[in-house]
Amino acid sequence: MIYCSIDWAEKTHDVALVDDTGQLLAKRHITDDAAGYKILLDLLAEYGDTEETPIPVAIETSRGLLVAVLRAGKRKVFAINPMAAARYRDRHSVSRKKSDPGDALVLANILRTDMHAHRSLPDDSDLARAIAVLARAQQDATRNRQQIANQLRSLLREYYPSALTAADVWKNGLCRPEVREILRAAPTPTRAAQLTRTQLQTALKRAGRQRGIKADAEQLRDIFRADWAHQPLLVEDALGKQMLALLVQLEAACAAADDLAEAVGEAFPQHPDAETILSFPGLGIQLGARVLAEIGDDRNRFADARGLKAYAGSSPITRASGKKSAITCRWVKNDRLNHAGYLWSFSAITASPGAKTHYRRRRDEHGDWHAAAQRNLFNRLIGQLYHCLQHGQRFNEAVAFPSPSVGVVAA
């Protein structure tokens, strides 16, 4: 048995091959380009790598062109956490020395001794991986949009509180196109107070409004012409220019989030698992795509539902030592899936009578706090999703949350 490892870097990579006894068979220093990838594949082929019997590879990343080249075919690629690799390094040397070729050798020995304890990259379909790219990018764009909106809100509080009052008229506040259009037309409270009804109506029309324009314009005019405190004119103008710079960033973030959400909406329904995922209460297109992005469509990725629950961070973990024992939530988990699960369970409480009953039972009978009850509900829902995906079934409210009168005890 031959084991390959790659110490990944930005421009070059160190490759090491070892056998069952841990003897170093070959090492190479390759570049991060097509020529370097060819050298790597030729080296693997020289030591017996074939389509039927591929050589497993360990690397400290799960993304990039190098990983895409290695995943072609049936080869198992193991993404080793850098922190875990650092712990293994102490097994081979106590002098704390470190080098890239040495790290490649450590990774190879991780596969040689403990390959069974590490999970290879899932064999997801190209469509599932594409959805994962889009869903994660949309999630990041949404967070970025909110961060910029928070910065803009903090700045407006310093000199332009009337803009915040005007933004409260609509849902989503500063992220609304109407608010952004008005801020662009009047970056300072002094200029906002000078806006006429016609100018406000024109701004609302530019933002895409078609109904209630006159009433909203009149309400905004009253807000801007009310009695507000002001900064000195020079300071106010300077803050207005700073606000316009932030507004440009917010508009770009809003456009990116909307475009990615549209792309997710086009790609996710094409996946065969979309029908099953969308049948669950609380899951829509965007949130369902995030769940699929993290669990993938490789049916052999998780041995059972317990493995998926641990991966999602919904199942508790027991820490015991001597006479002390504590049951706590998991800290090591897939953060994206765990966050999606929090939103999922929160929505399911109002979308499913059984989910709401389960949540109330955890709160009233077991004494759970809100977060703990939600986590327990997510733990149950993710287990049901695993079962439905494995058997190609849709969510069934009566089976998922049976009525106590039926005589079935809920798990």
* Other CB atoms within 10 Å distance of the CB of residue 194: 12
Strand order in the sheet with 3-7: 24-31, 12-18, 3-7, 57-59, 77-79
Q: How many residues belong to the chain?
A: 411
Of 50, 200, 44, 169, give the one whose Cα is nearest residue 108. Answer: 44
pLDDT at 40: 93
pLDDT at 406: 45
Q: What is the DSSP letter of 120?
A: B
Residues 385, 280 contacting (CB under 8 angstroms):
yes
pLDDT at 82: 85
* Other CB atoms within 10 Å distance of the CB of residue 136: 17
Q: What is the DSSP letter of 249?
A: H
Place of tokens 């798990």: 411
Six-digit token pair at 356?
């709401």
Enter the pTM of the model.
0.86
Contacts of 177 (CB under 8 A, 6+ apart): 207, 208, 254
Residue 78: phi, psi to the nearest 5? -110, 120
**Torsion angle of C-alpha atoms 227, 232, 238, 240, degrees rounded to 10:** 0
pLDDT at 22: 86
pLDDT at 405: 55
Enumerate the H helices of 160-212 as residue ranges: 161-167, 177-185, 189-193, 197-206
143-163 in b/e burial notation, b at 16+ Cβ within 10 A? ebbeebbeebeebbeebbebb
Q: Residue 242, CB half-sphere, CA atoms under 13 Å: how many? A: 15
pLDDT at 163: 93
Six-digit token pair at 305?
């539902």
Contacts of 408 (CB under 8 A, 6+ apart): 402
Per-10-residue mean pLDDT, the chain, length 411: 90 92 91 92 91 91 90 89 83 72 88 88 93 96 95 95 90 89 94 93 91 92 93 95 96 96 96 96 96 94 92 86 80 90 95 94 92 94 95 93 60 39
Residues 341, 312 contacting (CB under 8 angstroms):
yes
SS3 136: helix
- Residue 55: burial class (beta carbons within 10 Å; 0-12, 13-18, 19+): buried
pLDDT at 1: 87
